[in-house]
Amino acid sequence: MISVKYSLRDKNAKRKSTIRTSVSFSGNRIVFCPGYSIIPEHWDTKTGLPKSVKGSVEVKTTTTNLKELDLKIRHLFDDLSSYGKQNVSPDVFKQKILNIVRPEKFTGENIHQTTLIDFMDVFIKDSETGIRLKDNQYQLEENTIKPYRTTKDHLINFQKHIKRAFLITDINQDLHDEFSKYLIEELDLSMNAHSKYIMCFSQLVKYAVKKKLIPSNILNEIQFNTKREETDNIYLNEQEIQLMMNLTNFKTELEEQVRDIFVMGCYTGLRFSNYSKLNLDYIQDDILTTIQQKTKQKVTIPIHPNVRKIIDKYQGVLPPCPTNQEFNRTLKDLGERIPELNIPFTKQITRGRKKVEEETMKWEKLMTHTARRSFCTNMYLMEVPVPTIMSISGHKTEKSFRTYIKATGEEHAQIMRKYWENNIKNEPEKK
């Protein structure tokens, strides 16, 4: 059993008194100040919480914060005790409570008691709340934060695997190398998946340096292995997109909506974060102007006739879009019904330090990002100038744009043949 109670440090204070927290469990007692204060006349000694003071936002906020802290402490106790199955160390419990209450104050002796996972929680929380910003300007998107949570899970399992818990001060090249080895050899991750989680780990280290928890020279000492490889990914050509457009007999209304939203992505070149919640009010004279969620860059996109059909179908208001995961599942179900996508697709990747070939059906590789790849590749095959495509897709460099071109060797050969034919036609006849 656990008891969480609040009281005033000085109930006779003339102005504000600091609020004190007392946590009792298994014969132990932890007392600390969570950082809140209140006027004694606004405190209810019977309930151990602030009174209801009409019109006082400050009192209401304090009440909410204290109730939330109560729940966090109880949840933390349940986690540490495995819901009553094991004893909880008072020292560990107190430190974890303080990490919740004052995560930004990892100073002095606390640094040497802060675990890697504790700080990972702070790193994720600060990313969610906007304390940690992208480029010191923009709040991070959910799609950016999600890999942080997965990295945390990998770090937890990594520690269990080697039977050691790391502190924030244990970060060094050896820890990086061991974690990297675990991802590659134990989890058998692909090179790009491994790179993603090491990149998240590097962001964690940089944040620890920013918080002055570890010396800045650690960034020069650790060589983060974030090497990536260009992989084979599918795109849908114009004929396949039209086959998707021609699908009927949907099992649910959601299937039809996913199809329509995906096709819009294929003709706009936007990322899922944009085409999933497109505001059609910004279309004028069949030109869409929108701000990309990821880069905050403004792009101007012409409306394709198929996109116009979809807009008119929903009378200018697109239906709500499901989550990325549900969208991908539904998209694969739709793709499976298209015979032309029921063909083998071989992808060569590096896994477990070896080049391997993985064969699936083409429809199994359908995902939200297939739309953006399809747009870039189809426009390229139509010989639209690369700067024009990049202006619409929002790519900043041609190098990053080129990774989206998934044309086959045969398709490149056809481009070359067409180029030769045009040159021959334009050559002057010999007399």
More reliable by pLDDT, 176 or 408: 176
**Is position 427 within any domain?**
no
Tally of helices (H runs) and strands (E runs) in the chain: 16, 13
Q: Is 383 helix (H, G, I), strand (E, B) or coil?
A: coil
CATH number at residue 123: 1.10.150.130
Long-range contacts made by residues 404-413, C-beta under 8 angstroms, separation at least 24? Answer: 404/372, 404/373, 404/376, 404/377, 405/376, 405/377, 405/380, 406/232, 406/233, 406/234, 406/235, 406/373, 406/377, 407/377, 407/380, 407/381, 411/381
**Residue found by looking up tokens 């190098």 in the block:** 399
Pair 270, 383 in one domain: yes
pLDDT of 262 above 90? yes
Q: What is the mean pLDDT of residues 144-171?
A: 94
CA 32, CA 13: separation in Å to the nearest integer? 19
The type of residue at 366 is L
> What pLDDT, on a 0 to 100 scale, did the predictor assign at position 175?
96
The pair of structure tokens assigned to 268 is 């706009």
Pair 281, 387 in one domain: yes
**Is position 233 within any domain?**
no
pLDDT of 258 above 80? yes
CB 161 within 8 A of CB 182: yes
> What pLDDT, on a 0 to 100 scale, did the predictor assign at position 83?
64
Pair 268, 412 in one domain: yes
Question: What's the pLDDT tens digit per position in 186-245?
Answer: 999 999 999 999 999 999 999 999 888 888 899 999 999 999 988 778 999 999 999 999
Number of domains in the chain: 3
Pair 168, 285 in one domain: no
Pair 396, 322 in one domain: yes
Question: Nearest CA to 324 among 273, 267, 266?
Answer: 273
% residues pLDDT > 90 (the chain) = 50
Pair 64, 118 in one domain: no
Pair 361, 300 in one domain: yes
Pair 193, 332 in one domain: no
**Is position 340 within any domain?**
yes
> What pLDDT, on a 0 to 100 scale, did the predictor assign at position 299?
92
Q: What is the mean pLDDT of residues 139-155?
A: 91
Query: 135 — phi, psi (to 5°)?
Result: 55, 25
**Is position 430 within any domain?**
no
**Is position 426 within any domain?**
no
**Is position 43 within any domain?**
yes
CB 336 within 8 A of CB 366: no
> What pLDDT, on a 0 to 100 scale, did the predictor assign at position 402?
86
CB 393 within 8 A of CB 299: yes
Question: What's the pLDDT tens digit per position in 343-393?
Answer: 999 888 898 888 888 899 999 999 999 999 999 999 999 989 999 999 999
Determine the structural domain holding residue 326 and report its residue range: 238-420
**Is position 429 within any domain?**
no
Give 149's pLDDT tier (boundaries 50, 70, 90): very high
pLDDT of 172 above 60? yes
pLDDT of 268 above 90? yes
> What pLDDT, on a 0 to 100 scale, did the predictor assign at position 110?
55
Pair 79, 187 in one domain: no
Pair 193, 165 in one domain: yes
**Is position 381 within any domain?**
yes
Question: What's the pLDDT tens digit per position in 9-42?
Answer: 888 887 888 899 999 998 889 888 888 889 899 9
pLDDT of 430 above 70? no
Pair 15, 120 in one domain: no
Pair 202, 340 in one domain: no
CATH number at residue 327: 1.10.443.10
| Mean pLDDT score across all residues of the chain | 88
- Domain boundary (62, 84, 102) is at 102
